[in-house]
Structure 1
Amino acid sequence: MRLAFKANFAWMAIGVALVVALAMVLSAYFSGRQPATVALDIGFSAIRLLLPLLIVLLVQELLSRELDTRYYLNSLSYPRARSRLLLGRFAAVLALVLGVLLAVGLLQVVLIGIIGGAYSQATPVAMGQPYLITIAFMMVDLLVLVVLATLLAVVASSPSFVLIGTFGFMLIARSYASIIELLSHDSGLVGNAEGYRAKLGVLGYLLPNLGALDIRMFALYGKPEFFPSDWFWLLLSNFSYALALLALAVWALQRKRLA
């Protein structure tokens, strides 16, 4: 935690909150009939883009730079296991990121209350239980990304690979299921759509479906049909994937040669 705050974590968190708030307020002015819905939608998009960047910066500071500057020679001089060092840094990053998510989520509630009070919509956003469930699903999404960034920090030889690998993984895991569904409904988008869809389907065995964790429509409209019916298996698969990656990161650190 001390390392994170020395790395200006507080300013980074404030910056995330300001960008989300500014995006929500400005987007509300561009919607004539549903300003609260548009503002909340844009706010969710900003959070899902900025918090992974915050994850990368924290992991680079707490793990990658420690391995690069050989500060682990001091950290591991105490009678503690390597796994304890890794799990401690992982827990710190996860706690800080989820704390920022909760703080920004509370800020969203305040801003939506102000925007909704200025203009009454015909279909108000659901800021109660649907909103809390949406934030909970977003936490699972961030958990997987924190674990992946931790693994990359252990196995990668360059801190920049943590950024490239985490964002590349995020883009693919969040989009491949939507592309498969799109090709199922409109096979004329690309040539040989069946073969293309079959190749993308292989990713379902290798990557979690992070796109399915984005259930913002449930909070935007509050209708139960927007809530995934297979929510239990969706959460279980993502938790299992995160646990497997974390175990792999611990194993990789145990096997890593520290000169």
Structure 2
Amino acid sequence: MHNFYFAKPASIADAAKALAAEGAQPLSGGQTLIPTMKQRLAAPSVLVSLTGIKEMQGVCTGDGGLHIGAATPHAVVAKEAAKHYPALAALAGGIGDPAVRSRGTIGGSLANNDPAACYPSAVLASGATVVTNKRKIAADDYFRGLFTTALDDGEFITEVTFPIPQKAAYVKFNQPASRFALTGVFVAKYGQGVRVGVTGAGADGVFRWTDAERALSANFSASALSGLTVDPSGMNADLHGSAAYRANLVKVLTGRAVTAAG
């Protein structure tokens, strides 16, 4: 690991100032960044920790939604969101292992945008809003492909706001070694329709299965998916599963999520 300067600001404003330095990079849970630095694949000259900023921590409700500070660990989301958004809480409680859940944060996960991470599917399916130190970004505009987001240099996530659905569920097929999602599907039903977010399967990362959304908006049951297919040409393929296998998993897991939600 290279030498670096470590900063731990106490406010969003101070964090923004620290990140304006050349070679600065934000640190949230560090579950990806720290191992990457140890392998010398990343070498920020300034590491700016966001975990000491109180206004970026915790879970609360207001304005018809659930607000989660970006520096909130997965374990806290699993506990404090359970009453208001059980499906999201269950997702958080199934990430990694206890050590990962105690250190990893929702903001860090979304900023990294790993193609097999769980939170992106929930954000996309919920139509959530990603709040940064500079602006608010709709979920549909935030994800830009593998490990790529709409965040600009010096911009970091401060909060994520979730509209609370009528019904929702998340089902994932674990990659047993990493516990990332080989494929994971989050289904959320709102008054205006159903949204389906898929992680782990897409060659370009998280995506919405719009055909399923239309079918489920008309009939919220697993049977509504019977005539649908997922094009494997857009699916990821590796030693853990072929594109066709993942395409089939998308449909199977969507049906299971609908059944669990309903």
If the length of structure 1 is used for normalisation, what is the TM-score? 0.25
Q: Which has the higher helix share?
A: 1
Q: Which has the higher strand share?
A: 2
User: Of the two structures, which has the highest relative contact order with CA contacts closer than 8 Å and spacing of 6 or more?
Assistant: 1
Q: Which is greater in Rg?
A: 1
If the length of structure 2 is used for normalisation, what is the TM-score? 0.24
